[in-house]
Structure 1
């Protein structure tokens, strides 16, 4: 009798537990909303990540660094600076120094300096000061050092002296004659290049003593600085000095 009561009690307990357990249909009804809710959360998280990535991409596209541009496109950067700087220096010389009214600006003269800035200062100067000098001198190591390290680098200082002497030679024997030939091409009224050359070289010779004195006192100290900074900054730094020099050259030699 006692055993029968125990079996009845055990069977009742099992029935009670089974009655409280969710049926298969109930589990299905419960799991569907939960799965939908989880899917919604996953979609929102995915959308948030995509929006953040899109925002980051847009910020990268909009942001601009001149330093990065100068490193990536040094030649284009140099031509743009040279042309703009040379034209601006001429206008400064005409309007501010010579006090020429805006209505009387000599646009032929401005054309001379634009062409000279783009072709010689932007193109030729880049080729010889960056490409040629890089092959002739060990410029990479020296230009990346600190100023204290540069002062102790004997080989680097020799290279700096060599670059300075070579550049002053180019300025004397190529830069000045080229400027006077460009000037003759704009102002001579002739379409014959031989006339530009003869007229330009004649003016170069007649003004040589004064031009050379001014060139040395400006460009000797400037070259020491220009050939010491990192390569990608070499010509931009040089253009700062060149702006003042070009304004002087325009004022002193730019007229008809």
Structure 2
């Protein structure tokens, strides 16, 4: 117990050293997480890791400590006393609440736009570029400023409200470091083998791209792949014909009554035409009854129902898949977008397993064309080939004025 009490006094007695240590370890750990989990490197780039650890030590630990503790302590002398008050007393303390808002404002609207992000973009340029160019780094920040700051405020304004409202002075920097590490862990877990956004994931604070990554990641948590259980029969059922209310309900009821389960389906109405494609898992002895029920149902006569058995792989020429890629592209709608994207994939001798396209309302009312493709190849994809493939899509991004290019690897 005595040892624990002594350890508990370290951050209070030595807040600067504690904050610097936590920030250094956190930033180094974040970069290691990205290198191992996201980039799947066989060998750690310790030089890069040292650069990020240095940034965490001197800026996140040292500079931010100077801002959050001595500077803010002088500008807001009652901040520490306010943080120690119970919530009921905080709500009644008008001056304390005003000081809280003042600290958040200075931190989020002055410190980060004018100091933190320029230092971060400059550091990233020095670390990631063979020929560092600080002018280019500041130009990149200027281009990304609007989205970066919007992302920062959505995540960090609530976090810093908690920080300044409840954390004692010595805990302010560790709180920021902990939130930042959690953010990086979430990104790394969601983005797996992301090719296109590695530099965004490395950011201790969110950029505009990282907020998009989290949204896409959350959307995919609820996606369910087709599970080809070998103990069941698997049927691909398709139908196309004049649209009519009740088509989906009728087909789903036929499957259910036969004891089948729809695991994956796509249904769409184009003008007056309705098209459906579904995967059904069912006990082998009930397969014939299901197909007969669908074909003989009078309400489905106009749909021209077709059914075929599925095995693990019957399409294409691949006997085994080495690498799978998921490609997600968004940009202003224009003719030829899908053709350009498919041609870029085909040039790499990759097979498109699944592709979905849609028109979506984008920012400022523009029509965005969205392409999501599942791609596989039997050719080994080392880092050089992945970077080359990504570079082709970056060229396509400029050519087609795309707003999102997301390439993820599934080994």
Report the TM-score when normalising by structure 2.
0.43
Instruction: Output one character per residue of 1:177-221: Cα deviation in whole Å (capped at 9) or x when no partner.
Output: 10111122223345xxxx543132122123223321211111100
Within the alignment, does 1:135 sit opposite 2:83 as a pair?
Answer: no
CA distance in 2, matches of 1:130, 1:250: 32
How far apart are the structure 2 equivalents of 1:63 and 1:212?
41
Q: How many equivalent residue pairs?
A: 191
Structure with bigger RCO (C-alpha 8 Å, 6+ apart): 1
Matched, 1:217 2:185: no
SS of residue matched to 1:227: helix
CA distance, structure 1, for counterparts of residue 5 and residue 133 of structure 2: 43
Detail structure 1 runs of 4+ shifted over 6 Å in the superposition.
Answer: none
Match of 1:149 in 2: 89
The answer on whether the counterparts of 2:36 and 2:44 sit within 8 Å (CA) in structure 1 is yes
CA contact (8 A) 1:86 1:246 kept: no
Using the alignment, how far apart are the partners of 2:198 and 2:67 within structure 1? 24
Alpha-carbon shift at residue 242 of structure 1 (Å): 1.7
Q: Which residue of 1 aligns with 2:338?
A: none
Residue from 142, 163, 169 that aligns with 1:231: 169
Q: Is the 8 A contact 1:93 1:250 kept in 2?
A: yes
Structure 2: 5+ residue runs without aligned partners?
Answer: 188-196, 204-386, 388-411
Residues in 2 aligned to 1:184 and 1:76: alpha-carbon distance in whole angstroms: 28
The answer to whether the 8 Å contact 1:83/1:118 transfers is: yes
Residues 180 and 200, structure 1, Cα contact 8 Å, conserved in 2 = yes
Q: Which runs of 5+ in 1 are unaligned?
A: 1-58
User: Which protein has the bigger helix share?
Assistant: 1
Distance 1:80 1:72, change over 3 A: same
Matches within 5 A, 1:28-177: 62=3, 65-96=6-37, 98-101=38-41, 103-137=42-76, 138-169=78-109, 170-177=111-118
Q: Which has the higher strand share?
A: 2
Q: Distance in 2 between matches of 1:179 and 1:245?
A: 16
1:208 to 145, 150, 153: 145
Could you say which residue in structure 2 is the equivalent of 1:188?
Answer: 129
What is the CA RMSD across the aligned residues, in angstroms? 2.5
- Distance of 1:80 and 1:100 partners within structure 2: 27
Change (3 A) 1:65 1:148: farther
Q: CA deviation at 1:111?
A: 2.5
Whole-Å separation in 2 of the counterparts to 1:182 and 1:146: 40
CA distance in 2, matches of 1:205, 1:176: 10
- 8 A Cα contact 2:27 2:56, kept in partner: yes
CA distance in 1, matches of 2:100, 2:122: 30
Contact 1:108 1:187 in 2 (8 A): no
Structure 2 distance, partners of 1:215, 1:110, is 24
